[in-house]
Amino acid sequence: MITETISFASVNVGDKLPGKEVPITSALIVGGALASRDFTSVHHDKKVAQANGLPDVFMNILTSNGLMGSYVTNWTGPDATVKKIALKLGAPNLPGFVMTLVGEIKAKDDSTGIVDIEVIGENNVWGMHMAGTVQVQLPQ
């Protein structure tokens, strides 16, 4: 369990978060869809996904959001507060791919204690899956 929280004073613009590799499996895609209560067929039924032009079931947006969130809060620790997650969606994540998450601090607001972290998730086959910014308020 992660118990330390990163303080606002200890981070600087340009700091990079440790990268993380997320193996994309059918279990992750289907599990993420169910945990987010998203029963849209393309996220659990390969035949329907194929009828929609993709080779296999693909990750839903809520899971992408969730992975971006967990990537950041696992780094900040428990006493940070997420203010905003904004992301642009790219190529789908499919079983068998590996998505690499990287993050970099792009801005720091002294008056609010909020830092902007740019997060990019790229899979090894089709490239950019998601790119966005997580705004998180850190304790002083």
Partner 1 sequence: MTPEETKAFEEKIHAFVGRENGPPKRGNDDVNEAMIRHWAEVMGDELGTYTDAEYAAGTGKGGLIAPPAMLQAWSMEGYPMAENPAQDIQRQLHNVFDAHGFTGVLGTNTSTEFFRDLKPGDQVTAHCIIDTISEQKATGRGIGYFIETLTTYTDQNGEEVGKQVFRVLKFIPADSNDAADSSTEDDSPSVPTRITSPRGHDNSWWWKACDEGKILIQRCTSCQTLRHPPRPMCGECQSIEWDSIESTLDGEVYSFTTLHYPKIPGYQYPNTVGVIQLSEGTRLVANIVDIDYETIKIGMKVKGSVEQVDEKTMLPVFRPE
Residues that bind partner 1 (CB under 8 A): 1-3, 5, 22, 28, 31-32, 34-41, 44, 50-51, 53-56, 61-63, 65-70, 73-74, 77-79, 81-89, 91, 94, 96-97, 124-128, 139
Q: Which of residues 17 and 67 has its CB atom nearest to partner 1 in the complex?
A: 67
Residues 6+ apart with CB under 8 A from 2: 74, 77, 78
**32/103 with CB nearer partner 1:** 32
Instruction: Return the number of the residue (37 or 110) whose C-beta is nearest partner 1.
Output: 37
Contact 66, 29 (CB under 8 A): no
Q: Which SS3 state, helix, strand or coil, does residue 136 take? A: strand
Any idea what the Cα angle at residue 39 is, between residues 35 and 41, rounded to 5°? 135
Nearest to 135 by CA among 112, 122, 116, 119: 116
Q: How far is the CB of 74 from partner 1 (least distance, A)?
A: 5
Please say which residue, 14 or 53, places its beta carbon nearer to partner 1: 53
Q: Shortest distance, CB of residue 18 to partner 1, whole angstroms?
A: 13
Shortest distance in whole angstroms from residue 115 CB to partner 1 = 15
Shortest Å, Cβ 108 to partner 1: 19
Neighbouring residues of 115: CB distance < 8 A, sequence distance ≥ 6: 8, 11, 105, 107, 108, 109, 135, 136, 138
